[in-house]
Amino acid sequence: MSILFNENNQQFHIQTKNSSYIFCVSDFQALEHLYYGKRIPQDDVKYIGNRQIYSHLGYESRDKRDFSASVLGMEISPFNAGDIRVPSVVYNYDGKVDCNRLRYRSHTIYEGRQPIDGLPYSRVSAETETLEVVMSDDENTVEFTLYYVVYADVDVIARHQTIKNKGTMSLSIQKFTSMCVDFYGSDFDAVTLEGIYLYEKAHVSRAPIKRGIFKNNSLTGTSSHNHNPFLALCEHNADEDKGEVYGFNLLYSGNFSGEVSVNQLGDTRVLTGIDDTGFCWTLKSGEELTSPEAIMTYSDQGLGGMSRNFHDHIRQNIIEKEFAFAPRPIVINSWEASYFTVSEDKVLALAETAKDCGIDMVVLDDGWFRPHDKMGLGDWRTIKDKFPSGIKGLSEKIHAMGLKFGLWLEPEMVNEDSELYREDPKCILSTSRLPLISRSQYVLDLTRDDIVERIADRISEELEGAQIDYIKWDFNRYLTEAGSYTAAQGEVYHRQMLGAYKLLSILKQRLGNVLFETCSGGGGRFDLGMLFYSPQIWTSDNTDPYARVYIQYGTSYAYPVSAISCHFTEGECTSGRPSSYDFRYRVAAFGSYGYELDLSKYGAEDRAAFKSYSEQYRKDEDLNLNGDLYRLISPESDKFCAYIKVSKDKKKALFTFLELNATGFIECMTLRLKGLAPEKLYRNEETGEILYGATLMNVGIRIGDLYRKKREDGYMVAFTAVEE
């Protein structure tokens, strides 16, 4: 049992492999948070809440200063209910507040978990256990259910909540986070992943939190290229390997917010959920609303330990089981090869050469239903002149060549120049005027079920009978002036996300056992919400390998490498900066591997090189799918980047060292490896040298020993455990 309830002291203790999360039903039936951190025994820790109440604060008892929500940890904290800190929920009842103080009513503990209807969630595993706690106000008109779903083996607790209107008047909700965690003290740094289009998650931002509010959020209707729902709090001296770290993330792809506030006592509150800007949701009598799911983890093994907990949880419990650990197809994608000039002949030519390069799948990107980006989205009609056999015919031809077939879609959008928009100009998200245009397109109003169904039907009809193995699902603009002709304004952004998830689910179901790769102009929706539907995500439109090193390394803080889609592309790709083949391969082999270049331009020698890269990737792929990542040198040093992937049984490891700047004399540099078994002997497959894991991890390796190869190519060295 990982969820324990002690009747005597009314204390809940959630115990994972290495962490404890403790709260209790306290006096006045509040749900008082007591502790989150390293695993401890089943002691009564209620004493930690014996805190002085100071002047001006409100307290529950009329006679003595004995209980004030303002100085105690709270599992849920409504606005205007006695806690003066940043609230986790804000609501009122028909414009009035009677009493928002919430009281514990009941709880249940059970094995397994319930799915969350219409939203992504962590899937059930053999060990999953759930605690539900029901709370309500004094009049029993507003009821909350707080869910704690425990994944003890990976040290993850998933949380979400439901609010129900049990009264007769309407309930208006202005803020509804997924999770609240209070810490006594504030000796933390906050870590977030910052970026921009073409440089997503490339800056791992870390700064001490101060009194006041730190907010990491997105108002773009997507999780965005700029910020990411991932947020960590760590001790000031925590590093990759040691120190306490708390990681948080959200299974959601729309407007989100991670708020860290430090109050006058120096206590810290962390909130994660839907951003409340412009949010206002009305529940009629009997209706309820469920928040997205947040996940949290604790590690005393530094940021590396936190990442590995998240990687394991995401692979085991968020990504669909049939894809999570299965080898991924090595794709050739048509985008950087042909852009909008793609045609059946060109795709077949790509397929012909792909076979010589160890490629498994040809992906037809944008351009099959439109000649440029100003038309066609929403209609999904194949251009017959360019694709005379249609998508069905082309997919059959590709399959006949022994390859798989993938297709690009952007179902949530419509071009102004489309039948759909001409017929129903109200099909888009807009206010009383036309919204700003972006990439010549608008966002479809997916709060409308008829639009969701119409798009799903149109795409299913167009692809009827086609042999599709993979879908690249794109989303190429942010939401602006998002209003709807049918949904209430304060509900639009969230309803839009619910509609998007619905459309994804319908098309996934209709297309059968298809691998989805989501994308949003690269990594604009690289989040756990999308990973629930798509085992991998296109990481960035920036395919310059030097830039990719930063982007991919940053992304790995929160997401497993197998989810990070990486392609070997033309040398002068996005940036015009040249790079060697080996360097490009080594960077792209960080995640799920593929190609994106015009193969017809490359002769037999190049194709042989591509084939050997594909074979090498296949040989090492298991480390991506099942192994552990240890980051060694951050590219933010601006000199090098290094990491090692180690199999769970510690028998195999793959070390990568990439030089980003010609920094001069690095022959003398030594680097200590990580993650190996100290007692095992490992053969360095490059030098043949055999040393103990303990030696490699303490004395280290000499980078100069790898110098027999070219420095600008980087080094990728396998270590294999040998019998003594």
Active site residues: 474, 541
Q: How far is the CB of 523 from ligand GLA (least distance, A)?
A: 9
Q: Could you give the count of Cα atoms lying within 13 Å of 60 in the half-sphere of its Cβ?
A: 19
Whose Cβ is closer to ligand GLA: residue 521's or residue 627's? 521
Q: How far is the CB of 115 from ligand GLA (least distance, A)?
A: 30
Whose Cβ is closer to ligand GLA: residue 258's or residue 521's? 521
Q: What type of residue sits at position 612?
A: S
Say if strands 652-659 and 640-646 run parallel, antiparallel, or are unpaired.
antiparallel
Say if strands 404-409 and 361-364 run parallel, antiparallel, or are unpaired.
parallel
Whose Cβ is closer to ligand GLA: residue 360's or residue 365's? 365
Apex 145 CA angle, 139 and 147, nearest 5: 160
Q: How far is the CB of 107 from ligand GLA (least distance, A)?
A: 45
Whose Cβ is closer to ligand GLA: residue 75's or residue 200's? 200
Whose Cβ is closer to ligand GLA: residue 190's or residue 331's? 331
Q: How far is the CB of 425 from ligand GLA (least distance, A)?
A: 24
What the block records as the tokens of 259 is: 């708020």
Whose Cβ is closer to ligand GLA: residue 445's or residue 474's? 474
Q: How far is the CB of 520 from ligand GLA (least distance, A)?
A: 7
Q: Closest Cα to residue 69, out of 35, 31, 99?
A: 31
Whose Cβ is closer to ligand GLA: residue 366's or residue 412's? 366
The whole-angstrom separation of Cα 451 and Cα 449 is: 5
The whole-angstrom separation of Cα 361 and Cα 406 is: 7
What the block records as the tokens of 569 is: 């592309």
Q: How far is the CB of 366 from ligand GLA (least distance, A)?
A: 3
CA 526 to chain centre: 5
With H, G, I as helix, E, B as strand and everything else as coil, classify residue 614. Answer: helix
Q: How far is the CB of 198 from ligand GLA (least distance, A)?
A: 10
Q: How far is the CB of 364 from ligand GLA (least distance, A)?
A: 10
What the block records as the tokens of 621 is: 């792929």
Count of positions (residues) in the chain: 724
Q: Closest Cα to residue 496, out of 565, 419, 435?
A: 435
Binding site for ligand GLA (CB under 6 A): 335, 365-366, 408, 474, 476, 519, 521-522, 538, 541
Identify the burial level of 146 via C-beta atoms within 10 angstroms of its C-beta, where 0-12 means exposed, 13-18 middle and 19 or more buried: buried
Torsion of CA 305, 309, 310, 311, to 10 degrees: 90
Whose Cβ is closer to ligand GLA: residue 308's or residue 525's? 525
Whose Cβ is closer to ligand GLA: residue 405's or residue 408's? 408
- 692 - beta bridge partners? 681
| Cβ pair 546, 575 in contact under 8 A | yes
The whole-angstrom separation of Cα 591 and Cα 554 is: 13
DSSP secondary structure letter of residue 318:
I
Whose Cβ is closer to ligand GLA: residue 281's or residue 368's? 368
Q: How far is the CB of 44 from ligand GLA (least distance, A)?
A: 54
- 20 - beta bridge partners? 15, 37
Measured between alpha carbons, how far is residue 606 from residues 405, 518, 609 in Å?
23, 30, 5
What the block records as the tokens of 150 is: 């425990």
The whole-angstrom separation of Cα 625 and Cα 621 is: 6
- 406 - beta bridge partners? 363, 470
Q: What type of residue sits at position 140?
A: N
Whose Cβ is closer to ligand GLA: residue 164's or residue 567's? 567
DSSP secondary structure letter of residue 558:
T
Residue nearest to ligand GLA (CB): 366
Residue 631: enclosing H or E segment and its boundaries? strand 628-633
Q: How far is the CB of 141 from ligand GLA (least distance, A)?
A: 47
Q: How far is the CB of 470 from ligand GLA (least distance, A)?
A: 13
The whole-angstrom separation of Cα 247 and Cα 298 is: 6
The whole-angstrom separation of Cα 63 and Cα 554 is: 54
The whole-angstrom separation of Cα 514 and Cα 509 is: 9
**Which residues, including other chains, have CB under 8 Å from residue 249's CB and lie 6 or more apart?**
229, 230, 231, 272, 294, 295, 310, 527, 528, 558
Q: Closest Cα to residue 88, out of 181, 199, 157?
A: 181
The whole-angstrom separation of Cα 227 and Cα 225 is: 6
Residue with tokens 């959020």: 217
